[in-house]
Amino acid sequence: MQIQLIFNESLDSVAATDVSHYVIEPSLNIVSAAISDSDLTIVELTISTAIDSNVVYTIIATGISDCSGNVATTSDSIQFALPSPAISGEILLNEILFNPKFDGYDYVEIYNNSDKVFDLKDWQLANADEYDSLTSLNTIIEDQYLFFPEQYLVLTENATAIKQQYYAANPDWFIEMNLPSLNDDEGTIIILNTAGERIDQLHYSESWQFPLIDEPDGVALERISFDAPTQDALNWHSAASTVGYGTPSYENSQHVEPLAQNEISIEPKVFSPDQDGYNDVVAINYQFSQPGFIGNVKIFNSRGTQIRDLVHNALLPSSGTFIWDGITDANDRAPIGIYIILTEIFDLSGSVKHYKHVCVVGEKKR
């Protein structure tokens, strides 16, 4: 098997073809190294050991010199793996900026929610019309691009502009492409693999933004949980003000990990919906032995008055999360105080269970 390494300048052929300058971890036996192009920029390594499709490897190159004899003083490394086909749920839409500032650009962030490596060559982003038919199919990248487990990837028409406006923890995790249309009020964005299969799809709305944000321009919508459905409006929230209203290329400011130990649990017990990125929401986590239950979630204040009908007759999978962001049905922020979260779970046989939990809407000291 051969592995091609592409360098950004011409190499000294003697150094480049010396196998002692290359190491692969976990260990693979390198038989030979050869220059495979006239520009002396491509090295082809031949290995005798079979590659495990479930392993991510790292190639480390040391002591390589260019044609002028300049020897690299540091090691260069790059990861590689055998890519796998993706199915729905393994690559997720994770963050979307559809209403940028006047001098800004849209972006879509995707996340590898699996332990597999995928090749995004010839994958596409698309819109859908009112009949859910595909429109505006745009190729993400025409070259091979390995998408690794737990990696974030930002797709935009101007990566430089996004990095100037928002902090980018992983500046290499950007691909510039022609995005499909992202309307400011609502729209649909779809990820398609090379076979044209829909891997994830989201119909977003500007009404999903946190209601108390005065100016939503430039505020990204972030996915809250990888486990909750993409299309669940409660699974999206405005990015926190403390991160500059967007987290392209790293974990979302509003991300929540489900922590259900019993059938129903909440986390945290005290939250402050002030858009600072710390405990802005309360998560109602559920875990059942089987899917097929119907759920309702209502929020009451300390006087017993219902202030939010959060979930109504939702068909539930075996596990998941509901999110309350501290907003009432009147679109106001709930005052500081104690609140009761009443969760009702029932099945078609008439079996009903009620769960009551207490949470507190607090406020940080100034």
* Domain end marker among 221, 239, 255: 255
The highest-confidence range among 2-6, 70-74, 340-344, by mean pLDDT, is 340-344
Q: In this structure, which long-range contacts are made by residues 134-142, counting pairs with CB atoms below 8 Å and at least 24 apart in sequence?
A: 134/190, 134/192, 135/180, 136/180, 136/181, 137/180, 137/192, 138/177, 138/178, 138/179, 138/180, 139/177, 140/175, 140/177, 141/175, 141/177
Is there a contact between 7 and 44 (Cβ–Cβ < 8 Å)?
no
**Average pLDDT of span 320-337:** 93
**Average pLDDT of span 274-297:** 88
Phi, psi (5° rounding) for residue 264? -135, 135
Domain check: are 50 and 183 in the same one? no
* pLDDT value, residue 97: 98
pTM score of the predicted model: 0.78
Per the prediction, the chain carries an average pLDDT of: 91
Q: Is the pLDDT of residue 98 over 80?
A: yes
Domain check: are 41 and 6 in the same one? yes
Domain check: are 144 and 198 in the same one? yes
What CATH number has the domain bearing residue 155? Answer: 2.60.40.1260
**Average pLDDT of span 267-293:** 88
Q: Retrieve residue 161's tokens.
A: 């502009």
Range of the domain at 75: 2-80
CA distances from 342 to 148, 295, 297, 325, 339 (A): 40, 11, 6, 16, 10
Domains of the chain: total: 3
Domain check: are 30 and 175 in the same one? no
> Using one digit for the tens of pLDDT, what is the confidence trace for 291-320?
778 899 999 999 999 999 999 998 888 788
Between the two ends of the chain, the Cα-to-Cα distance in Å is 62
- Separation of alpha carbons 19 and 242, rounded Å: 49
- Separation of alpha carbons 349 and 197, rounded Å: 37
Q: Which residue type is seen at 229?
A: P
> Using one digit for the tens of pLDDT, what is the confidence trace for 139-190?
999 998 999 999 999 999 999 999 999 999 999 999 999 999 999 999 999 9
- Separation of alpha carbons 116 and 20, rounded Å: 30
Domain check: are 238 and 91 in the same one? yes
Q: Is the pLDDT of residue 70 over 90?
A: no
Q: Is the pLDDT of residue 365 over 80?
A: no
> Using one digit for the tens of pLDDT, what is the confidence trace for 22-36?
999 999 999 999 998
For residue 327, give the DSSP letter: B
Give the percent of the chain with pLDDT over 90.
69
- Separation of alpha carbons 20 and 347, rounded Å: 65
* pLDDT value, residue 310: 95
* Domain end marker among 80, 101, 117: 80
- Separation of alpha carbons 38 and 17, rounded Å: 14
Domain check: are 338 and 226 in the same one? no
* Domain end marker among 80, 96, 119: 80
> Using one digit for the tens of pLDDT, what is the confidence trace for 210-237?
988 888 999 999 999 898 899 999 899 9
Is there a contact between 281 and 274 (Cβ–Cβ < 8 Å)?
no
What CATH number has the domain bearing residue 343? Answer: 2.60.40.2550
Domain check: are 128 and 165 in the same one? yes
Domain check: are 127 and 156 in the same one? yes
Domain check: are 48 and 121 in the same one? no
Domain check: are 274 and 249 in the same one? no
Domain check: are 52 and 111 in the same one? no
Domain check: are 212 and 264 in the same one? no
287 — pLDDT class (breaks 50, 70, 90): confident
52 — pLDDT class (breaks 50, 70, 90): confident
74 — pLDDT class (breaks 50, 70, 90): confident
Concatenated DSSP letters of 245-284: S--TTS--TT------SSSEEEE-SEE--SSSSSS-SEEE
